[in-house]
């Protein structure tokens, strides 16, 4: 079966199926049919992504399901796709969240439904394309293609301050993209006039070139993560975005920054990465603690979860730059975990907002009595974000901290403070919203989740417990690729 898939353009299918769905929606008018068609294409896309994961060869670090065609020969640009143990998990995650975003928008989006679903589907094509591209030019096209749909999702379907949030998001990410392009062009000329990503890995670049290209890449990826001090666009974007927009931001877009570190900064620019390591680790610890304190001070649920993302992504960057297999695998796993858990929390916020029309925690209370099924799922995702044993985030954070202690005990010890802060703001949020007596008539009159909403919540809860109790299949996928990445880094240190 693996050979069959290698001879079939399965990655092209998974990437462009949502775009084909967007093209179909252009000719439709009935809003009900538009919703069902968008759901159909995203579900089929998810099903099409499953064989890639099921038939992935765990014994090799090499790219699999590779597709390569000449595109612009004069510039040595190719249409080149492939996945390894690092990227495949995020192709799967993006495909999973695609149909969940459609379900989350089923009744929440009431105006310009067709345009919204088209924007979602175009986003999905661009996001999956980023994780599959093996040509820098193609990668950059997908990277930039995400900008406009996300800007529109925030700016057209967002909250009261949506224009400010959308413009801020656009300017931050555009600034990062310009620096990314400069770095890509520098590598193109230094690497023998090629955009081929595997060919650019392992070459002997001067430290000066690595220093400046790494700096350009670092700012671009740090904005996307977002790392401290480039994080200020994120709370505004999350608060104003509709539920699906927040799910996309938390679930996939933030991962593209850390994916950029894994795919480009570490293997292509290892000497510069080593030079900047302590700076990145310090910024990661600041993000963990600072994000936790800011989350502790929030009264808006969405803002609290947004600042918690800054803290949790600080753990990810910490794990990626400790230069051992345990920490890096923990970082990759935590990227997946954060995409699942934080997306689920934003889904919960969106569902309860539809019923109560408020995001102020002080106006809740008594949800456990009013909507017990909803509150059960909310508790599961809160505990997962808290990294309670038996949930997915516990495994990721444990591996990161073990790896960090192996690299620098002071850095690791400071990072532990973030876990304590997480307990304070997450348990405080759950207690205020779910326990006690209802403080609003809207809460008393709220209705519990329906079948459509339960379907989305169960899908995410499955992975919370699957990874929490049996993470081996997910770790096995990345073993060979992480081992090869470390070989590339260590071999560069001895050149």
Q: Quick one: CA dihedral 187, 188, 191, 195, positive or negative?
A: positive
The confidence band for 438, taking pLDDT boundaries of 50, 70 and 90, is: confident
Please give the structure tokens belonging to residue 135.
């040509």
Instruction: Decide if 244 contacts 104 (C-beta within 8 A).
Output: yes
What pLDDT is recorded for position 238? Answer: 86
Characterize the bridge pairing of strands 64-72 and 77-83. Answer: antiparallel
- Taking alpha carbons only, the member of 137, 52, 136, 123 closest to residue 94 is 123
Instruction: Decide if 3 contacts 16 (C-beta within 8 A).
Output: no
The number of CA neighbours under 13 Å toward the Cβ of 407 is: 24
Instruction: Decide if 136 contacts 217 (C-beta within 8 A).
Output: no
Distance CA 317, CA 163 (A): 30
| Mean pLDDT of the region 196-213 | 89
Please give the structure tokens belonging to residue 244.
């699906």
Residues 242-277 have pLDDT tens digits of: 999 999 988 898 899 999 999 999 999 999 999 999
Distance CA 415, CA 316 (A): 11
The confidence band for 2, taking pLDDT boundaries of 50, 70 and 90, is: low
How far, in Å, are 101, 407, 475, 481 from residue 395 at the CA level?
26, 19, 10, 19
Task: Tokens 């444990």: give the residue.
Answer: 398
DSSP letters for 18-82: HHHHHHHHTT---HHHHHHHHHHHHHHHHHHHHHHHHT--TT--S-EEEEEEEEEGGGTEEEEEE
Judge residue 217's burial from the number of C-beta atoms within 10 Å of its C-beta, 0-12 exposed, 13-18 middle, 19 or more buried.
buried
Q: What is the mean pLDDT of the chain?
A: 90
Please give the structure tokens belonging to residue 256.
């593209």
Query: What is the rounded end-to-end Cα distance, in angstroms, of the chain?
Result: 41
- Angle between helix 162-190 and 233-240 (nearest 10): 130
Instruction: Decide if 329 contacts 482 (C-beta within 8 A).
Output: yes
What pLDDT is recorded for position 93? Answer: 95
Name 81's bridge partners: 67, 133
As a 3-state breakdown, the chain gives helix, strand, coil percent values, each rounded to 5, of: 75, 5, 20
Range of lowest pLDDT (206-220, 349-363, 376-390): 349-363
- Taking alpha carbons only, the member of 233, 254, 292 closest to residue 428 is 292
Judge residue 73's burial from the number of C-beta atoms within 10 Å of its C-beta, 0-12 exposed, 13-18 middle, 19 or more buried.
exposed
- Angle between helix 325-356 and 451-469 (nearest 10): 160
Task: Tokens 């990826």: give the residue.
Answer: 221
| Mean pLDDT of the region 165-175 | 91
Distance CA 48, CA 98 (A): 13
Is pTM beyond 0.85 here? yes
What pLDDT is recorded for position 493? Answer: 53
How far, in Å, are 41, 119, 154, 368 from residue 248 at the CA level?
17, 12, 11, 28
Residues 55-101 have pLDDT tens digits of: 999 988 999 999 999 999 989 899 999 999 999 999 999 999 999 99
Q: How many CB atoms lie within 10 A of CB 62?
A: 14
What pLDDT is recorded for position 3? Answer: 54
What pLDDT is recorded for position 201? Answer: 86
Q: Is the pLDDT of residue 110 over 90?
A: no
Instruction: Decide if 296 contacts 277 (C-beta within 8 A).
Output: no
């Amino acid at each position: 079966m693996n050979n069959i898939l290698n001879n079939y353009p399965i990655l092209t299918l998974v990437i462009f199926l949502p775009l084909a769905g967007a093209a179909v929606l252009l000719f439709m008018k009935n809003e009900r049919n538009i919703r069902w068609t968008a759901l159909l294409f995203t579900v089929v896309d998810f099903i099409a992504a499953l064989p890639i994961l099921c038939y992935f060869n765990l014994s090799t670090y090499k790219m699999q399901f590779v597709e390569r065609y000449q595109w612009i020969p004069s510039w040595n640009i190719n249409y080149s796709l492939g996945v390894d143990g690092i990227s495949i998990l995020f192709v799967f995650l993006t495909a999973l969240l695609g149909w969940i975003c459609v379900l989350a928008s089923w009744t929440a989006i009431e105006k310009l439904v067709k345009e919204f679903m088209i924007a979602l589907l175009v986003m999905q094509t661009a996001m999956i394309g980023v994780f599959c591209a093996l040509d820098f030019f193609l990668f950059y096209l997908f990277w930039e293609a995400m900008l406009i749909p996300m800007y529109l999702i925030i700016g057209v379907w967002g909250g009261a301050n949506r224009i400010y949030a959308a413009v801020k998001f656009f300017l931050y990410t555009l600034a990062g993209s310009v620096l990314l392009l400069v770095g890509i062009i520098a590598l193109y000329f230094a690497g023998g006039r090629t955009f081929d990503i595997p060919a650019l890995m392992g070459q002997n670049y001067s430290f000066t070139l690595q220093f400046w290209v790494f700096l350009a890449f670092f700012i671009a990826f740090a904005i996307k993560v977002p790392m401290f001090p480039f994080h200020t666009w994120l709370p505004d974007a999350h608060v104003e975005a509709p539920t699906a927009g927040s799910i996309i931001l938390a679930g996939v877009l933030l991962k593209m920054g850390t994916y950029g570190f894994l795919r480009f900064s570490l293997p292509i620019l290892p000497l510069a990465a080593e030079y900047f390591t302590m700076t990145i680790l310090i910024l990661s610890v600041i993000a963990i603690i600072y994000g936790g304190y800011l989350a502790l001070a929030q009264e808006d649920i969405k803002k609290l979860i947004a600042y918690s993302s800054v803290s949790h992504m600080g753990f990810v960057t910490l794990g990626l730059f400790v230069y051992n297999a345990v920490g890096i695998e923990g970082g990759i796993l935590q990227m997946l975990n954060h995409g699942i858990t934080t997306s689920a929390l934003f889904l919960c916020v969106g569902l309860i907002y539809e019923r109560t029309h408020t995001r102020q925690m002080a106006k809740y209370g008594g949800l456990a009595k009013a909507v017990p099924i909803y509150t059960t799922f909310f508790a599961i995702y809160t505990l997962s974000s808290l990294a309670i044993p038996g949930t997915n985030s516990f495994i990721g954070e444990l591996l990161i901290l073990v790896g960090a202690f192996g690299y620098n005990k002071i850095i690791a010890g400071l990072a532990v403070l973030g876990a304590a802060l997480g307990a304070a703001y997450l348990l405080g949020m759950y207690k205020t919203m779910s326990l006690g007596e209802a403080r609003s008539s809207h809460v008393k009159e709220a209705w519990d989740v329906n079948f459509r909403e339960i379907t989305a919540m169960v899908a995410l809860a499955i992975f919370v417990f699957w990874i929490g109790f049996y993470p081996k299949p997910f770790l096995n996928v990345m073993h060979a690729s992480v081992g090869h990445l470390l070989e590339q880094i260590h071999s560069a240190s001895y050149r």
